[in-house]
C-alpha cells in the first residue's frame, strides 16, 4: 500500500508548493480546479485529453508548480494520472514528493528499465510519478526518438492522463520536442518575470514545432496576500 504524501518527506532543495493538496480550499486551489475544467473541454470531439505538456518561456516562471498542481487536481477528479518529469537537465518533481531519482524517464527511454520499474506512487490517490532519472548526455535526442513514441503509447494504456513537466522552451529544444508529441500544451507565465517578447517568441516556437497551445496560466499577481492564477484559452 502506498504511503500518503507527507510534507515532511519532501525535504530536498526547494520542492514546489503543493497547495492543491495541502490547502485544497484556498482560492488558488479553486483556480487550479477551474483550469482543470477548462482543459477538459479543450479537446474537440469525443476524445478526452490524454497528455498535456506544461512549459514556460524561461526559468522561474512557475511551470513546475503548475504541472504538479494540475496533476493533483486531475487525480482528485478521479482520473488515473501520471506526472512525468521530462526536464532531465533540471529535475524537480522528485524533490516535491520526496522520491528517489536514481531511475526515471531517461532510463526508460534508453531501454535500461521497464515502465513499471520507474513509476512511483506519489502518496496522492490516483497520482503516480515518473521522475526524470539521471541526466543523459543527449536529452533532446532521447525525447525525439522513436522509442519515446513507443513509451507514450505504453503509458496511454496504463493511465487516463499524462502530465509532462518540461524545460523552458527558450533555453533548450527538449520542451518543444515533447510539446509536439502531446495532445496539448499549457504555457505558464509569471507577473514581473516573463517578458512580453519572450512570450511572443515562445508561442512562435511552439507553433513552428506544431504543438497545440491549449491556453496560458498567468500567475504571480498579488491579490489578497495570495498569488493568483488565471487561465486564458487560446480558443
Tens digit of pLDDT per residue, the chain (235 long)?
Answer: 345 555 544 443 355 688 999 999 999 999 999 999 989 877 656 678 999 999 988 777 788 999 999 999 999 999 999 999 999 999 999 999 999 999 999 999 999 999 999 999 999 999 999 999 999 999 999 999 999 999 999 999 999 999 999 999 888 899 999 999 999 999 998 877 788 888 888 899 999 999 999 999 988 755 444 445 555 555 4
Give me the residue label for grid cell 530536498.
12
pLDDT score of 225: 42
Q: Is residue 136 part of a domain?
A: yes
Q: Is residue 10 part of a domain?
A: no
pLDDT score of 5: 55
Q: Is residue 42 part of a domain?
A: no
pLDDT score of 40: 83
3-state secondary structure of 226: strand
Q: Determine the Cα–Cα distance for residues 50 and 52; give it in Å rounded to an integer.
A: 7
pLDDT score of 190: 83
Q: Is residue 9 part of a domain?
A: no
Cell numbers at residue 182, please?
502531446
pLDDT score of 61: 75
Domain hosting 165: range is: 50-233
DSSP-derived letter for residue 133 is: -
Q: Is residue 179 part of a domain?
A: yes
| CATH number of the domain where residue 62 is located | 3.40.50.300
At residue 97, φ and ψ (nearest 5 deg) are: -100, 5
Q: Determine the Cα–Cα distance for residues 30 and 21; give it in Å rounded to an integer.
A: 11
| Burial (0-12, 13-18, 19+ Cβ within 10 Å), 24 | middle
Domain count, the chain: 1
Q: Is residue 204 part of a domain?
A: yes
Sign of the dihedral defined by the CA atoms of residues 171, 201, 68, 146, in that order: negative
pLDDT score of 220: 72
Q: Is residue 160 part of a domain?
A: yes
pTM, 2 dp:
0.88
Q: Is residue 20 part of a domain?
A: no
pLDDT score of 198: 84
Residues near 21 by beta carbon (within 8 Å), at least 6 away in sequence: 5, 72, 124
Amino acid at each position: 500500500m502506498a504511503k500518503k504524501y507527507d510534507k515532511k518527506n519532501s525535504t530536498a532543495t526547494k520542492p514546489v508548493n503543493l497547495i492543491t493538496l495541502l490547502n485544497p480550499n484556498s482560492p488558488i486551489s479553486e483556480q487550479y480546479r477551474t483550469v482543470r475544467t477548462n482543459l477538459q473541454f479543450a479537446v474537440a470531439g469525443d476524445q478526452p485529453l490524454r497528455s498535456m505538456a506544461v512549459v514556460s518561456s524561461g526559468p522561474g516562471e512557475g511551470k513546475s508548480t503548475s504541472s504538479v498542481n494540475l496533476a493533483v487536481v486531475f487525480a482528485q477528479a478521479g482520473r488515473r494520472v501520471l506526472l512525468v518529469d521530462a526536464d532531465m537537465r533540471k529535475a524537480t518533481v522528485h524533490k516535491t514528493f520526496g522520491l528517489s531519482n536514481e531511475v526515471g524517464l531517461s532510463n526508460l527511454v534508453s531501454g535500461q528499465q521497464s515502465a513499471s520499474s520507474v513509476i512511483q506512487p506519489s502518496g496522492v490517490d490516483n497520482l503516480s510519478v515518473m521522475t526524470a532519472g539521471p541526466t543523459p548526455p543527449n536529452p533532446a535526442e532521447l525525447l525525439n526518438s522513436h522509442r519515446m513514441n513507443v513509451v507514450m503509447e505504453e503509458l496511454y494504456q496504463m493511465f487516463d492522463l499524462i502530465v509532462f513537466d518540461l524545460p523552458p522552451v527558450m533555453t533548450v529544444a527538449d520542451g518543444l520536442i515533447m510539446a509536439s508529441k502531446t495532445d496539448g500544451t499549457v504555457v505558464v507565465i509569471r507577473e514581473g518575470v516573463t517578458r512580453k517578447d519572450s512570450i511572443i517568441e515562445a508561442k512562435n516556437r511552439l507553433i513552428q514545432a506544431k504543438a497545440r497551445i491549449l491556453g496560458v496560466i498567468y500567475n504571480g499577481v498579488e491579490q489578497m496576500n495570495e498569488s493568483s492564477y488565471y487561465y486564458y484559452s487560446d480558443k
